[in-house]
Amino acid sequence: MTKIALFASGNGSNAQAIIDAIERKELHAQVALIVCDRQEAYVKKRAEASGIEVFSFEAKSFNGKDQYEKLILEKLREKEVEWLILAGYMRLIGTVLLTEFENKIVNIHPSLLPAFPGKDAVGQAMDYGVKVMGVTVHYVDAGMDTGPIIAQQAFSVKEQMNLDHIQKQIHRIEHQLYPKTLQKLFKY
C-alpha cells in the first residue's frame, strides 16, 4: 500500500476527501502523516478525528525554507512516506523536498491551469469573466502551479452562478477527481 503525507494549511476538505476515499477502499493508500503550517488550521482536527499524526510547524520560527523542510523530511523518512499530496498547502515546495520526492509530489488547483495560477484562482477567473472553470491535478515543480498537468475537469459557468455556487462546484469536482487521479498514479 502506498504511504502518503498530506500537506494542508486550512480547512482540509481535500485531505478529508482523500481520507474518506481510503476508508471506502476507492484509494489504496495510507496517510502516514499530515503536515500543516498553521496552528489554527481545521485540518488538524480532521486528522485527530481520523487518528492520523500531524506534524505542525510555523515557518517564521525557522531561518528559511531549507531549515523547516529538512525537519519535515526527517519525519517523512521516519514514516516511510512515498508520495507528498498537497491539499490546500499554501507554501511553495522547496529544493529539499523537490529533490527527495522528484515526480512524487502532486497538487490540486481550482482552475484550468495554466490559466489563473496562484492564490484566489476562482476570484481571478470570475474577474476575467470566464465561461468555463475547473480543477487541475498536477505534479509539483519549483514554480507556482507550473508542473506538468496530470488531470483536469471543467464545468460551464452559468449566469446565475455566484461565488458560493462556483466554489461548491469546484469542491465537488476536487473531492472526486483528486482521489481517482491519485489511485491511477499509485498503480504505477
Catalytic residue among 109, 138, 171, 175: 109
| 121 neighbors 136 (Cβ within 8 angstroms) | no
CA distance 54 to 162: 35
Cell numbers representing residue 144 in the block: 507556482
In contact, 144 and 121? CB cutoff 8 Å: no
Cα(129)–Cα(134) distance, rounded to whole angstroms? Answer: 14
**Do strands 132-139 and 105-109 pair parallel, antiparallel, or not at all (unpaired)?**
antiparallel
Query: By the 8 A CB rule, do 94 and 69 touch?
Result: yes
Q: What is the DSSP string of 10-79?
A: S--HHHHHHHHHHHTTSS-EEEEEEEES-TT-THHHHHHHHT--EEE--GGGSSSHHHHHHHHHHHHHHT
Cβ proximity of 10 and 41 under 8 Å: yes
Told to judge if 175 belongs to the known catalytic residues of this protein, a careful annotator would answer: no
Q: Which residues are catalytic, by number?
A: 109
